[in-house]
Amino acid sequence: MSFVEYGDTIKDGDTAIVFLGHESMFPVKVQHGTVTQTKYGVIRHSTDLIGKKYGSKVTCSKGGWVFILHPTPELWTMNLPHRTQILYSTDISIITMMLELKPGSIVCESGTGSGSLSHALIRTVAPTGHLYTVEFHQQRAEKAREEFREHGVEHLVTVTNQDVCKNGFGVSKIADAVFLDIPSPWEAIGHAKSALKAEGGRICSFSPCIEQVQRTCLAMEEYGFTEINTLEILLRVYNVRTISLQIPDLGKAAEDNSGTGFDSSNPSHQGSPCANLQQGTVQFKSGVPLREVVGHTGYLTFATKS
Amino acid sequence: RKIIFEKQWFYLDNAIGHIYGTTFEVTSGGNLQPKQEVEETTTETKEAGTDNRNIVDDGKSQKLTHDDIKALKDKGIKGQEIVQQLIENSTTFRDKTEFAQDKYIKKKKKKYEAVITIVKPSTRILSTMYYAREPGKINHLRYDTLAQMLTLGNIHAGNKMIVMETCAGLVLGAVMERMGGYGSIIQMYPGGGPVRAATSCFGFPKPFYDNLHEFPLSKVQSLLSGTFTTEALPADPEENALVEEESNGLTEEKHIPLQETEEELSAEAAMEINPTEEQDVMDVNAEDVEFKESKEKENKENVREKQIKQWERRKKLLEAAALLREKNADGLIVASKFHPTPLLLSLLEFVAPSRPFVVYCQYKEPLLECYTKLRERGGVINLKLSETWLRNYQVLPDRSHPKLTMSGGGGYLLSGITVVLDKGRSDSSNSEALKMEEPSSKRCRLQDLPC
């Protein structure tokens, strides 16, 4: 397995995702002789994991079961240990497309943070591209390096421990794209420009506050970037539920035996509410929005170097 | 070649040789000239008003008439000059606020300064263009939704992807871009052949197409049941016409010769022979006999050429079938005008376990049904029905505000991950399975009830 290449069977040293059920999963480092505790019992790596096909059902000691999944950057984003606030796949998706990333692209990123976006970028630019990621916090930089190594992608990424606003990305005139997720991105625009290739490079800055965005847009303009464009993207998830609504009792007309005006006895409604005469309810499928929806992550500002 | 675009027309000839991203000015005569970077003349303190309380919009503030402006244009005066003239001849310009002046100038510039920039195509550019100009051709798939699909589907180099789309080939192109020519794609298609009008707009190098296969949907059932043959290939001329209508004529014409059936082959051969026979009757001499012989040879070559093409097509079909039969695809992307449920239920069979799949639908309801059917089928987890909302912002000093919100108009996505299909029971959550002894009525409440 690899975060940039699919494998079929679970091997010693792999990072795998244990899926327990709706929204419940966690990553596990597969190792001979190790056991993993779950609420359904124990998983013995040597017998239950190694050699099994990804996607298999594994029965735990207490009888319940889990699925073992092949890691992907998206699953990693949902399960990685947070050292900082991270970017989620919704933002990552639009960033990837707007920066025109693809295999072979050279990307610069700062700050590395918890490596959520980093893993997604590495996956997209593999096998011929490279990610130069800069993190000013020493331990976070080291932890990122360690994770990239464990996930078999260290050849595709270079982690540099420095302040991008002072010292830039460490590369010059080669990047196809630059991504900034730092408190003062306007201070790094100059460095971003010098890291980018001569013509046509793309830049993106992510900031939670509009004041940061304003300063960044101004800086981009001053440095000659064009096509400056700010947007935000929100994800709305729907739960699929079968809903039953009661039919109100509107009483009866004089001698008429038709109860309500609603013809609940007609079975020929296609794909529409099917009535349950006994209980006077109508059932239908609905996509119900979640009650708590993520309101705002940050503004994304894109521009082109020309 | 003359290009007509948004009331401008020009020839592209002068653009060849310049780098992508160059901005050109359209001169009179339709020629392109690289635009000089004009230094914004530092404006002397502009005369401007504070608000619009005294500005009356009576349509009489511009002193230049339609004819005056046309005369200026005909004289060949540059757009910049025209804008300057308009400003000078506007009675209300200096009463406007600075912001209003900026807005006025921007608007006039857009109308009179013919400036175009030539850019390199990419998913970003093509998907935003298609959504803005031809959303009907792509089932109203908004570009942010497409972006989600590419990421949720973990599209990357080396995958073996199955793509089923009726979005003019835009989705296929986007997938190909993210795969960078590595791996393989099997495109499933309805009717006579896949539409790839948008795909050709990406400008992929030829090797990218080496591992792009196609397979007709009409053969899927036979493949799944083991009765697949290459007989009766989808080659209906009527279907060809439909396919043509959907896309730009150039790419589709190529498909037609590939799809001729045996009957058509012989019919055409007969047609070729007839005119020469007539000619023979009219003029009987040695030259004509030779001519007839070479014509017949030509006919035989044509027939043989078509036979070779047919054989090649059969070969490709068998290759695609073999790839599908391995049932180890790394992912499935569906974005079509068809109801998604039958597509998913059949195409998922070709996907390996622990792989993502994403289905796009313009409407939510079919995905509700899809979700339910998938739950019944089992072999999928982490099902998620979602939609993305997009909001653009204008960010200018003291003038920052949202511009437009795009929500609801971009379509919906159903995504999930495959797992090993347990023929025994559906992969409902563990808690249900552990309580197997529970009365069935209680169990039904937790799952979606079939209507």
DSSP-derived letter for residue B205 is -
Contact B144 A229 (CB under 8 A): no
Contact B156 A4 (CB under 8 A): yes
Instruction: Using a CB–CB cutoff of 8 Å, tell me whether A224 touches chain B.
Output: no
pLDDT tops 90 at residue B135: yes
Residues 173-232 of B with CB under 8 A from A: 177-182
Q: What is the pLDDT of residue B269?
A: 36
Contact A93 B147 (CB under 8 A): yes
- Number of C-alpha atoms within 13 angstroms, CB side, residue B140? 13
Considering only CB atoms, B156 lies closest to which of A57, A123, A240, namely: A123
Q: What is the pLDDT of residue A73?
A: 97
Minimum distance, in Å, between the CA of residue A168 and any CA atom of chain B: 25
Q: What is the pLDDT of residue A115?
A: 96
Residue B236 lies inside a defined structural domain of this protein: no
Instruction: Identify the residue among B427, B430, B436 best suited for mutation to test binding to A, counting A beta carbons within 10 A and taking the highest.
Output: B430
Does B179 lie in the same domain as B149? yes
| A208 prior amide bond cis, ω within 30 | no
In tens, the pLDDT along A221-272 reads 999 999 999 999 999 999 999 999 999 988 888 765 554 545 545 444 444 4
Residue B350 lies inside a defined structural domain of this protein: yes
Contact B420 A89 (CB under 8 A): no
**Closest chain A residue to B329, measured at CA:** A6
Does B199 lie in the same domain as B59? no
Q: What is the pLDDT of residue B109?
A: 82
Strands A57-59 and A65-69: antiparallel
Does B114 lie in the same domain as B137? no
In tens, the pLDDT along B422-447 reads 765 544 445 444 333 333 344 444 44
Minimum distance, in Å, between the CA of residue B249 and any CA atom of chain A: 29
Grade residue B73 by pLDDT with cuts at 50, 70 and 90: confident
Does B105 lie in the same domain as B12? yes
Contact B21 A72 (CB under 8 A): no
Q: What is the pLDDT of residue B118?
A: 83
Q: What is the pLDDT of residue B52?
A: 82
Burial classification of residue B19, based on how many CB atoms lie within 10 Å of its CB (0-12 exposed, 13-18 middle, 19 or more buried): exposed
Token digits of residue A206: 């992510």
CB proximity list for B237: less than 8 A, separation 6 or greater: B264
Does B88 lie in the same domain as B9? yes
Query: Residues of chain A with pLDDT > 90: what percent?
Result: 82
Q: Where in chain A is the domain with CATH 3.10.330.20?
A: 9-71
CB proximity list for A180: less than 8 A, separation 6 or greater: A109, A110, A164, A188, A192, A203, A204, A205, A206
DSSP-derived letter for residue B239 is H
Q: Where in chain A is the domain with CATH 3.40.50.150?
A: 75-231+300-305
Does B156 lie in the same domain as B15? no
Q: Quick one: angle between helices B340-347 and B365-377, nearest 10?
A: 30
Q: What is the pLDDT of residue B283?
A: 45
CA distance B61 to A181: 48
Does B402 lie in the same domain as B342? yes
Instruction: Identify the residue among A97, A225, A241, A245 best suited for mutation to test binding to B, counting B beta carbons within 10 A and taking the highest.
Output: A97
User: In the block, which residue shows the tokens 């005909």?
Assistant: B74
Q: For the full predicted model, state whether its pTM sits above 0.90.
A: no
Residue B75 lies inside a defined structural domain of this protein: yes
Q: What is the pLDDT of residue B435?
A: 37
Grade residue B272 by pLDDT with cuts at 50, 70 and 90: very low
Residue B283 lies inside a defined structural domain of this protein: no
Does B142 lie in the same domain as B90? no
**Closest chain A residue to B330, measured at CA:** A6
Task: Find out whether B400 and B394 touch, Cβ atoms under 8 Å.
Answer: yes
**Closest chain B residue to A213, measured at CA:** B395
**Closest chain A residue to B375, measured at CA:** A240
- Mean of the per-residue pLDDT values for chain A? 91
Residue B238 lies inside a defined structural domain of this protein: no
Residues of A with CB below 8 A from B19's CB? 199-200
Residues β-bridged to residue B33: B25
Out of A93-102, B282-291, B356-365, pick the least confident.
B282-291
Contact A5 B391 (CB under 8 A): no
CA distance B120 to B125: 8
Q: What is the pLDDT of residue B45?
A: 58
> Phi, psi (5° rounding) for residue A101?
-80, 145
Q: What is the pLDDT of residue A29?
A: 95
CA distance A152 to A29: 13
Minimum distance, in Å, between the CA of residue A139 and any CA atom of chain B: 29
Q: Which contacts qualify for A192-198: CB closer than 8 Å, 24 or more apart?
A: A192/A108, A193/A223, A193/A224, A193/A225, A193/A305, A194/A168, A195/A108, A195/A132, A195/A168, A195/A169, A195/A171, A196/A305, A197/A106, A197/A173, A197/A305, A198/A173
Does B98 lie in the same domain as B33? yes
Say which CATH number the domain at B329 has. Answer: 3.40.50.150
Residue type at A306? S
User: In the block, which residue shows the tokens 């000093």?
Assistant: B397
Distances (CA, A) of A3 to A115, A147, B332: 13, 11, 18
How many other CB atoms are found less than 10 A from the CB of residue B124? 23
Does B23 lie in the same domain as B63? yes
Domain hosting residue B78, numbered range:
2-37+46-118
In tens, the pLDDT along B145-199 reads 999 999 999 999 999 999 999 999 999 999 999 999 999 999 999 999 999 999 9
Considering only CB atoms, B178 lies closest to which of A98, A124, A306, namely: A124
Residues 17-36 of A with CB under 8 A from B: 19-22
Q: What is the pLDDT of residue B67?
A: 84
Residue B266 lies inside a defined structural domain of this protein: no
Mean pLDDT of B307-330: 94
Span A75-231+300-305: which CATH code?
3.40.50.150
Residue B95 lies inside a defined structural domain of this protein: yes
Does B166 lie in the same domain as B107? no
Q: What is the pLDDT of residue B232?
A: 58
**Ordered alpha helix ranges (H), chain A:** 73-79, 89-98, 116-125, 138-150, 164-167, 189-195, 210-222
Minimum distance, in Å, between the CA of residue A255 and any CA atom of chain B: 32
Span A9-71: which CATH code?
3.10.330.20
The residue length of chain B stands at 451
Residue ranges for the known binding site of A for S-adenosyl-L-methionine are 114-117, 135, 163, 181
Mean pLDDT of A73-77: 96
Among the candidates B88, B118, B148, a domain finishes at: B118
- Number of C-alpha atoms within 13 angstroms, CB side, residue B413? 30
Write the DSSP assignment of B46-70 as a string of letters: ----S-STT----S-SB-S-HHHHH
ipTM entry: 0.91
Out of A1-10, A263-272, B125-134, pick the least confident.
A263-272
How many other CB atoms are found less than 10 A from the CB of residue A250? 10
Q: What is the pLDDT of residue B297?
A: 80
Q: Closest by alpha carbon to B328, among B290, B355, B367, B294? A: B355
Grade residue B38 by pLDDT with cuts at 50, 70 and 90: low
Contact A97 B388 (CB under 8 A): no
CB proximity list for B395: less than 8 A, separation 6 or greater: A210, A213, A214, A217, A228, A230, A301
Instruction: Using a CB–CB cutoff of 8 Å, tell me whether A194 touches chain B.
Output: no
Q: What is the pLDDT of residue B229?
A: 80
Instruction: Using a CB–CB cutoff of 8 Å, tell me whether A210 touches chain B.
Output: yes
Residues of B with CB below 8 A from A234's CB? 388-391
What total of structural domains would you count in chain B? 2
Residue B21 lies inside a defined structural domain of this protein: yes
Minimum distance, in Å, between the CA of residue A65 and any CA atom of chain B: 7
Buried b (16+ CB within 10 A) or exposed e, B304-317: eebeeebeebeeeb
Dihedral Cα B249, B252, B253, B258, nearest 10 deg: 180
CB proximity list for A107: less than 8 A, separation 6 or greater: A99, A101, A121, A125, A129, A130, A131, A132, A175, A176, A177, A178, A179
